[in-house]
Structure 1
Amino acid sequence: MTALSAFVIPVVTLGMLWVVPTGLGLVEGPRPPGWDLLRRAWPLLALPGAVSLWLPRSDTATALAACYALATLALALQAPARLALTTSLRPGEIAVLTALVSPSVAGLALVAERAAYPLFGFDLDLLALTVPHFHFAGFAAALVAGLLCRTSGDGALASTAALSVPAGTLLVLIGYFVDDWAELAGAAVLTAGMAAVAVLTLRERRALATGPATRTLLAVSALVLVATMALALWWALGEATGIPHPTLTWMAATHGVGNALGFAVCALLAQRRLHATGHHRPAPLPRTELPA
C-alpha cells in the first residue's frame, strides 16, 4: 500500500479473512435470508480483497478490491434485514448492527486507495488506515461490545459500551470531514466505550471464564485495549492541539497491531471458547421495540 504497508497489510488481511467470519459466527438471534451462506462463504468472498492488498496499485488491484467491496455491501444489507426481524434498538443490538455495516466503509476506502483515488480529498495514507479502522474498531470492537452487553444485561456500563463504540467510530469518521477537534471528540467517545468494554471483559473473565486459556485471552484483550486507546487519544489530541504525538507509522505499529492482535483476536478467541463451552448465553432479543 504505502510506507505503512509493513504493518497495515498483514493486519487488514487478518481482519478480512479471520476476524470478520469469526465474528459473524458469534452473532446470535434471527438470521435474515442469505445470512448462513454469506457467513460460510466469507473467507472466499474476502480473498480478492486480501490479494489486492499485496499488489501494486493498479486496475487489477482495484478490480479485486471492488469484489471485496461488493461482499461488504451484501453484509451491510444484512443489517436492515436483521432489524426488520428483531424490531429491536437495544444498545447491544445497535452495536451488532454497526458491526455488520462497518466493513462496507472499509471496502469503499480500499477501492479508492487501490485505485490511487483521493476519495473525498483524503490522502492515500488516511484511506489505507481507514480500512483496518473499520475492520477492528468498526466491526470487531462493536461486535464484542454487543456480545458483552447482551450477556451483562442492559446496565449502565454495558449500555455505555454498546452505544459509545458505534458512536465514537461514527464521530471519528465525521471528524475526517470536519476538523481535528471533531476527530478528537470522536476519539474521546470511542475511548470511553472501549474502556467500558475492557471493564466488562474483566468482569466476564471473573464470572464466566473457567479455563486458564480463556481467562488469559480475556485479560490480555482488556489490558491491551486500555493501552492502545490511550495511544489513540494521545494521537488525536496531538493532531488537534499540536502537542508532540506519535506519527502515523508509529501508531500503525503500536495502536493498530495491538488492537488487531492483542484486543480483537484475543477477544474473539475468548468469546468463541465461551460459546463452545456453553458459558456464553445471550438473552433473547425482544421483537417489538421499534415504534409502530
Structure 2
Amino acid sequence: MTVLVHAVVSLGMLIVLPLGLPLLPTRTTSTRWWFAFAVPGAVSLWLPRGAVSIALASIYCVGTLVLIVLAAQHFWQHRKLSARQVALYTALATPSIAALALVAERSSYELFGFNLTVLSLTVAHFHFAGFTAALMAYLSADGLAAVSVPLGTVIVLLGFFLGDPVELAGAVVLTTGMWLVGWKLWKRSRRAERSTAILLVVSGSVLVVTMLLAVTWALGHVADTPYLPLQWMVATHGVANAVGFGLCGVLAMRREEFDEAG
C-alpha cells in the first residue's frame, strides 16, 4: 500500500500540479520553478525516513508556501470572494497541508496525534481532494458546485480532529460538490473536441463511483455498515480519483486552453 500511495503523491507533485497551476489566474510565465520544490518532495517519498528525507520534504513545503503567497496577492488585488474564488484559494492553500503532513511523516512525528499511515494518506488526500478537486471546481463550476468542494474539504479536515460523524458530514458535502462538478464536466464535454470530450467524460464519470466509496467508508466508521478495507480504498478510490478524475480532468482543461489559443 505504501508504494501505491507514494506513486499517487508523486503523480500529484510532478504532473498534476504543474499541469494545473498554469490554468489559474495566479499563473506565472513558467511552472519550471515548481519543479525545484516538487522534485525534492517526490524524492523524499522514496527515501528512508530520516534527516535527508526531512530536508527534501521541507523544500517542498517551502514551495507550497509560495502558492499561498500567490493566493494572498490575488485576493489583495481583487478584494472580493465569490464562490469560484473560494475554490481558487482552496486549490492554492491545500498543498501546504499536504506538505506539512509530509514533513511530519518523514520525521516519524505523529503530528496532532495522527499515526504515520494517516499522515501519509493526508498527503495524498490534500493533493487530490484538496488541490485538484478545488482546481476543477474553479475551472468548471460556480455557485453551490464551486463552494461545496472547498467546504466539504474543510469539514473532512475538521473531522480528523472532531470525530467520525463530522468526517461523515464532510464526506457527504464533498461528494455532493464533486458530483456537481462531474455533471458540469459531462455538460462541458458536449461542446469539446473529441479527445478532450473523452477526457472530460472519464473525469466526471469516475466520481460517481469513487465518491460513493468515500461516503460508504465514512458511514461505516459511524454506523458500522460495510466498507472497503483501507488497502482497497487506496487501490480503488485513491488511484481512480488521482488518474481518472485528476489527471484526465487537468489534461482536458489544458487541451481546451490549447485549442482556444490555437
Q: TM-score, normalised by structure 2?
A: 0.96
| SS of equivalent residue, structure 1 residue 57 | coil
Matched to 1:11, the amino acid is V
- Contact 1:38-1:75 within 8 A present in 2 as well: no
| SS of equivalent residue, structure 1 residue 259 | helix
Higher RCO (C-alpha under 8 Å, 6+ residues apart): 1
Match of 1:272 in 2: 254
Q: For residues 6-47 of structure 1, what are the alpha-carbon distances to aligned partners after superposition, in whole Å with 9 as ceiling and x for unaligned?
A: 21011100100111111111113xx4xxx5278331122211
- Name the CA distance, whole Å, in 1 between partners of 2:200 and 2:29: 30
Match of 1:153 in 2: none
Alignment counterpart, residue 21 of structure 1, candidates 18, 22, 25: 18
Match of 2:234 in 1: 252
Deviation of the 1:101 alpha carbon: 0.4
Match of 1:290 in 2: none
Match of 2:116 in 1: 124
- Contact 1:18-1:43 within 8 A present in 2 as well: no
- Name the CA distance, whole Å, in 2 between partners of 1:253 and 1:76: 31
- Name the CA distance, whole Å, in 1 between partners of 2:47 and 2:177: 36
The size of the alignment, in residue pairs, is 261
| SS of equivalent residue, structure 2 residue 77 | helix
- Contact 2:5-2:234 within 8 A present in 1 as well: yes
Give 1 or 2: higher helix fraction. 2
Match of 1:145 in 2: 137
- Contact 1:146-1:162 within 8 A present in 2 as well: yes
- Name the CA distance, whole Å, in 2 between partners of 1:193 and 1:7: 26
Q: For residues 124-146 of structure 1, what are the alpha-carbon distances to aligned partners after superposition, in whole Å with 9 as ceiling and x for unaligned?
A: 11100001111111001101100
What is the correspondence of 1:40-55 to structure 2 with a 5 Å cutoff?
A: 40-55=32-47
- Name the CA distance, whole Å, in 1 between partners of 2:98 and 2:139: 22
Q: Tell whether 2:3 aligns with 1:9.
A: no
Q: Which of structure 1's runs of 4+ aligned residues deviate more than 6 A?
A: none
Unaligned 5+ segments in structure 1 are 150-157, 280-292
| SS of equivalent residue, structure 2 residue 198 | helix
Unaligned 5+ segments in structure 2 are none
- Contact 1:165-1:193 within 8 A present in 2 as well: yes
- Name the CA distance, whole Å, in 2 between partners of 1:254 and 1:184: 19
| SS of equivalent residue, structure 1 residue 36 | coil
